[in-house]
Structure 1
């Protein structure tokens, strides 16, 4: 079994899966002589019509060990880069400010969702004169906390430095604030 890495498009290939480039077939031009059958004919090598390997110039042959090292490195967050015509492992680039900001906003939204739900429940309970889950003071504290969460992206050094607001006294409705 042969392993390959496509240095043009990236990705691994294996001839056991994608088919070998050539196959051995009986020579169609051979004629049997006395006592011979077509099965006795010589084998010749020809292109395999079922081969789905990329062009040979795009591929680097890998040993099974090299293949496994690259695959293992990739599964642990490394990138495969081509250096001097061969695939090697490299650390991924650090996240961009936009990626960090998106992750922090998602984290903020996760914190905000249960608070918003609790506040909406409180408003509906109050509007329809139902018993309330929160006191007015708890609802006010949650509203202040929710606004502080919404304001996180407006902090001066966002997304490089974030100061998470302190959650009000623990309730069953809000998760803990992450460490900065």
Structure 2
């Protein structure tokens, strides 16, 4: 059993599983193959431009990717806030809220407002000071 890589296919092959190999298949030693797999698992990318695959650091995310990631995180946190606010607001609306519940509701609402303003931070989207969730 041997492992191979293909620059044109940009993948690895195992001759036990793959009965036909691409014409540019290059056999990898067990150590080389394992090193590549461990590097990929650790977040490295494979550079297929040479005859043999090589590990490289991934490109940093673009500003657009950072922004999308920030908005996804914000929306997730807004969902949590909505779940916490709803029963507190119900208690206030029903005039059965305790003083602690009223205070906690105000904290959660302030948190929600802060989440909705992350894009106004000077470091957005690469450096965000996320607000702390209320207790």
Using the alignment, how far apart are the partners of 1:68 and 1:132 within structure 2?
60
* Structure 2 residue ranges without an equivalent (≥5): none
What is the aligned counterpart of 2:34 among 52, 68, 76? 68
Q: Deviations over 1:13-72 (max 9, x none)?
A: 1111112xxxxxxxxxxxxxxxxxxxxxxxxxxxxxxxxx34313x12212221111112
Which structure features the higher share of strand residues? 1
Gaps of 5+ in 1: 20-52, 171-180
Cα 1:65/1:165, change in 2 over 3 Å: closer
Distance 1:117 1:56 in 2: 57
Q: Paired residue for 2:126, among 148, 157, 160?
A: 160
Q: How many pairs are equivalent?
A: 134
TM (normalized to structure 2)? 0.81
Q: Bigger radius of gyration, 1 or 2?
A: 1
RMSD: 2.2
Equivalent position SS for 1:98: helix
Length-normalised TM-score, structure 1: 0.64
* Residue from 74, 79, 90 that aligns with 1:113: 79
Which one of the candidate residues 151, 157, 169 is aligned to 2:117? 151
